[in-house]
């Protein structure tokens, strides 16, 4: 059945076959089942997607698939290990219903077929350059009949562009031997030749010598559609999987295809992007429909492209909305064709817009080979031409692709500088932040346990000046160091706890050094394992609360300014399973309180200070979310009450429990499933708007991601990329330059250096 381009199916950015998508609502414990309509469904063929935490290694994945096949007598056709964490299976209705009850399965999606029917306008003479190339290298109309690189001559050299499509005519003269076959998932061989034309056209726009944006990029065809433009969702996922597994070096993938929303396709794209490959996709040609309802256009991490005309109007067929990242020329685009080695054709669609963007992405990757997909996206959108597109569509960004790049690498909204190199002091094991000299800028105190010395790195506003502030060689058994202003003079001090004898020693700052004295001896309470500082009685001096897990008691050491007076403030013997304790003013009365988390049942209990004791009550029960491993206190909505952000590493979600003064209301603020490798999370006001934000560190690639609070959700973007500094093991927040915004200090223990990151 022939249909219009990009209407109601998965298709090639400019044509489609009708497909509808609906979800079968089963029992709460059942895996979600997504079915195709009878016109496009492939009988008894399903894509099974496993939960992320069930197959963490190749061995466990293989065992899971084997068990599924054996227990349910299911034929496994293909495994998706690199992108989707799933498999393609043959199964009947009864077997699928049995699979839905498996705890390891996230969802099951019926495979479907799709067909393309290109709308093509033939043009005998190809202008030089094409109007699309002519448009993207200049800011404004009229066209000047030239396509030029910038003065630094990026042409895509050493970059590979993967074209997931109908294949490529590799022998076309415009490719000059740079095109090759990856894999053909239609014929299941390594000859991805094109017998349709669409893939060759897309490849020509990305990297043809006459028609292409990046004229020296390497082109690899990954064929997932047959000669008539038909294919399956499972075939598209196979193509994504192949690129994820085989891409090497700086790479970009183009998908000028799409269809109704597919959880499986979107998950595969998101996983591929998380692996470091930029995926550029077409927004779709449904005459102004919401691109978020299409796949892969709606995939969270895809770089989605809408189409414009030669008069800078949005193409009437182009989809719109918040999932669109950028626009590029897509109406009446001339490029290479499959019928001969010199053939060309002129066709229209967001399929034609997407490869323009993929070509510029290749230029960016040539300039900065280690650029992450987020950096490529940021460069494309910030370098694009703003506010020139007419009728851009509700929710769409008014940004048109611009191909000329600056000499600088892709920009990020931060600046990183080395502030100190203490190579001779690389034995430091504890680093704490405080304003130790009361100058309005935070400093860092570094403790060396082997000789009991404190070295303070005082901020000058542009670097650290480090000197030894004290030598407690006889007290090298200290294991806990807690910063607070214990005498109320405006300068932060450090309280040091010795667990073997239960003593507290306070190092009072005079602005240039520490004077240390024993403030308390709690020898009978040496079982304390958690110590937190806060002003629990509201007198302007910080105190210390000590938790004893074996009997569930809190003992508060109230500061007199020169010593501690310690009393039991609470006995929670029945709640001794608490493992996380976080200080904050949760009721806004000016006295600090303590929130206690019980991971086995997912409950939060808040110990509200009365000034002389704790009043404890359950504020929330998140039993279904007991997998949270990071909890951060902050005022995320700027209402004067402390809230808690909870991170779930297995699915990469943030849940914020915002305080109402007497309980917590919890909402999901962000879902970063593709970034579940984050291992460090810090809370502070990074943007300076009065609302606390969260920064997330990914050690395997050295990136920081900023989750900026809007007051009701987090908007997450790449803050910085320190791929060459992935050895950092300590990260702390502080206002080190005194501008009212929190900065990130990163410590590299192997060379003793501190690197400071400041948000622009």
Give the residue from 15, 25, 99 showing the smallest Cα distance to 64: 99
Within 10 angstroms of residue 501's Cβ, the number of other Cβ atoms is: 11
Identify the active-site residue in 351, 368, 642, 707.
Answer: 351
Distance CA 24, CA 601 (A): 31
Residue identified by tokens 């210390």 is 544
Please say whether the beta carbons of 206 and 162 come within 8 A.
Answer: no
DSSP classification of residue 31: P
Give the residue from 188, 189, 194, 205 showing the smallest Cα distance to 170: 194
Distance CA 435, CA 286 (A): 58
What are the tokens at 558?
């109230």
Helices 263-274 and 233-246: angle between axes, nearest 10 degrees? 10
Secondary structure (H, E, C), 263-300:
HHHHHHHHHHHHCCCEEEEECCCCCCCEHHHEECCCCC
Distance CA 685, CA 700 (A): 25
Cis peptide before 142 (omega within 30 of 0): yes
Distance CA 365, CA 401 (A): 16
Per DSSP, the three-state class of 745 is strand
Distance CA 670, CA 677 (A): 15
Give the residue from 49, 72, 71, 73 showing the smallest Cα distance to 61: 49
**Strand partners for 518:** 505
Distance CA 546, CA 568 (A): 9
Please say whether the beta carbons of 310 and 141 come within 8 A.
Answer: no
φ and ψ at 731, to 5 degrees?
A: -130, 130
Residue identified by tokens 């699928």 is 96
What are the tokens at 114?
């799709």
What are the tokens at 102?
């498996």
Query: CA distances (Å), 83 to each of 105, 175, 307, 486, in order?
Result: 16, 29, 28, 53
Distance CA 291, CA 302 (A): 12
* Cα 745 → chain centroid: 21
Q: Is 439 a catalytic residue?
A: no
Distance CA 382, CA 197 (A): 33
Identify the active-site residue in 172, 198, 498, 598.
Answer: 198
H or E element in which residue 60 lies: helix 58-72
Distance CA 306, CA 393 (A): 10
Give the residue from 614, 529, 604 showing the smallest Cα distance to 571: 614
Give the residue from 459, 510, 455, 471 showing the smallest Cα distance to 487: 510
Identify the active-site residue in 165, 174, 693, 721.
Answer: 165
Q: Is 351 a catalytic residue?
A: yes
Q: Is 165 a catalytic residue?
A: yes
Distance CA 449, CA 452 (A): 5
Question: Counting beta carbons within 10 angstroms of the beta carbon of residue 29, is it exposed (0 to 12), middle (13 to 18) or buried (19 or more)?
Answer: exposed
Per DSSP, the three-state class of 396 is coil
Distance CA 366, CA 92 (A): 49
φ and ψ at 640, to 5 degrees?
A: 85, 0
Catalytic residues: 165, 198, 351
């Amino acid at each position: 059945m022939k249909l219009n381009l990009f209407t109601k199916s998965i298709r090639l950015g400019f044509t489609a076959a009708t497909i509808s998508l609906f979800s079968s609502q089963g029992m709460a414990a059942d895996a979600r089942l997504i079915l195709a309509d009878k016109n496009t469904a492939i009988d008894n063929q399903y894509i099974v997607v496993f939960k992320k935490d069930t197959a963490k290694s190749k061995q466990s994945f293989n065992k899971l698939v084997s068990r599924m096949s054996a227990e349910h007598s299911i034929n496994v056709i293909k495994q998706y290990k690199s992108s989707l964490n799933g498999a393609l299976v043959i199964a009947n209705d009864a077997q699928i219903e049995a699979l839905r009850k498996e705890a390891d399965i996230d969802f099951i999606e019926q495979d479907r077929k799709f067909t393309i029917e290109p709308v093509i306008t033939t043009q005998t003479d190809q202008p030089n350059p094409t109007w699309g190339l002519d448009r993207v290298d200049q800011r404004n109309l009229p066209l000047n009949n030239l396509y030029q690189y910038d003065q630094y001559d990026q042409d895509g050299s050493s970059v590979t562009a993967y074209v997931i499509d109908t294949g490529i005519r590799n022998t076309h003269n415009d490719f000059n031997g740079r095109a090759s076959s990856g894999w053909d998932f239609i014929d299941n061989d390594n000859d991805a030749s094109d017998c349709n034309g669409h893939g060759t056209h897309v490849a020509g726009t990305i990297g043809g010598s006459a028609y292409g944006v990046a004229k020296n990029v390497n082109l690899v065809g990954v064929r997932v559609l047959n000669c008539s433009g038909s294919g399956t969702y499972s075939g598209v996922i196979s193509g994504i999987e192949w690129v994820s597994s085989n891409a090497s070096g700086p790479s970009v993938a183009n998908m000028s295809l799409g269809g109704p929303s597919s959880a499986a396709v979107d998950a595969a794209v998101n996983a591929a992007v998380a692996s470091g490959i930029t995926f550029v996709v077409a927004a779709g040609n449904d005459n102004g429909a919401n691109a978020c309802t299409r796949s892969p256009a709606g995939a969270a991490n895809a770089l989605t492209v809408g189409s414009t005309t030669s008069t800078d109007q949005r193409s009437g067929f182009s989809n719109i909305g918040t999932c669109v990242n950028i626009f590029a020329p897509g109406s009446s685009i001339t490029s290479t064709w499959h019928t001969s080695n010199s053939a060309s054709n002129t066709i229209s669609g967001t399929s034609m817009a997407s490869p323009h963007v993929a070509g510029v992405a290749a230029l960016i990757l040539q300039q900065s080979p280690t650029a992450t997909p987020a950096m490529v996206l940021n460069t494309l959108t910030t370098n694009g031409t703003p506010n020139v597109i007419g009728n851009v569509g509700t929710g769409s960004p008014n940004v048109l692709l611009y191909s000329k790049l600056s000499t600088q690498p892709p920009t990020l909204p931060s600046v990183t500088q080395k502030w100190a190199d203490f190579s001779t002091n690389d034995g430091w094991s504890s680093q704490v932040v405080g304003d130790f000299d009361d100058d309005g800028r935070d400093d860092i105190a570094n403790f060396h346990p082997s000789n009991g010395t404190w070295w303070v790195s005082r901020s000058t506003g542009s670097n650290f000046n480090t000197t030894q502030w004290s030598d407690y060689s006889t007290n090298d058994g200290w294991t806990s160091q807690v910063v607070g202003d214990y005498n109320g003079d405006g300068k932060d001090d450090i309280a040091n706890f010795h667990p073997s004898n239960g003593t507290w020693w306070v190092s009072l700052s005079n602005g240039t050094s520490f004077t240390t004295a024993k403030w308390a001896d709690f020898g009978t309470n040496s079982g304390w394992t958690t110590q937190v500082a806060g002003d629990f009685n509201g007198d302007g001096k910080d105190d210390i609360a000590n938790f004893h897990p074996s009997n569930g008691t809190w003992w508060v050491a109230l500061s007199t300014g020169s010593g501690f007076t310690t009393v039991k403030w609470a006995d929670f013997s029945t709640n001794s399973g608490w493992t996380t304790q976080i200080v904050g003013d949760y009721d806004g009365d000016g006295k600090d309180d303590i929130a206690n988390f019980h991971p086995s049942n997912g409950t939060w209990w808040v110990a509200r200070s009365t000034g002389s004791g704790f009043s404890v009550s359950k504020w929330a029960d998140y039993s279904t979310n007991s997998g949270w491993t990071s909890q951060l206190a902050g005022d995320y909505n700027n209402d004067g009450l402390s809230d808690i952000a909870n991170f779930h590493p297995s699915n990469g979600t943030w849940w914020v429990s915002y305080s109402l003064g007497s309980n917590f209301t919890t909402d999901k603020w962000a879902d970063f499933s593709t970034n579940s490798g984050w291992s460090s999370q810090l809370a502070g006001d990074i943007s300076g708007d009065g609302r606390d934000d969260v920064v997330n560190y990914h050690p395997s690639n050295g990136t920081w991601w900023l989750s900026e609070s809007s007051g009701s959700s987090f908007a997450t973007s790449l803050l910085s990329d320190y791929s060459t500094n992935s050895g950092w093991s300590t990260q702390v927040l502080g206002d080190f330059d005194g501008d009212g915004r929190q900065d990130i200090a990163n410590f590299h223990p192997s060379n003793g250096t501190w690197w400071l990151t400041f948000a622009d």
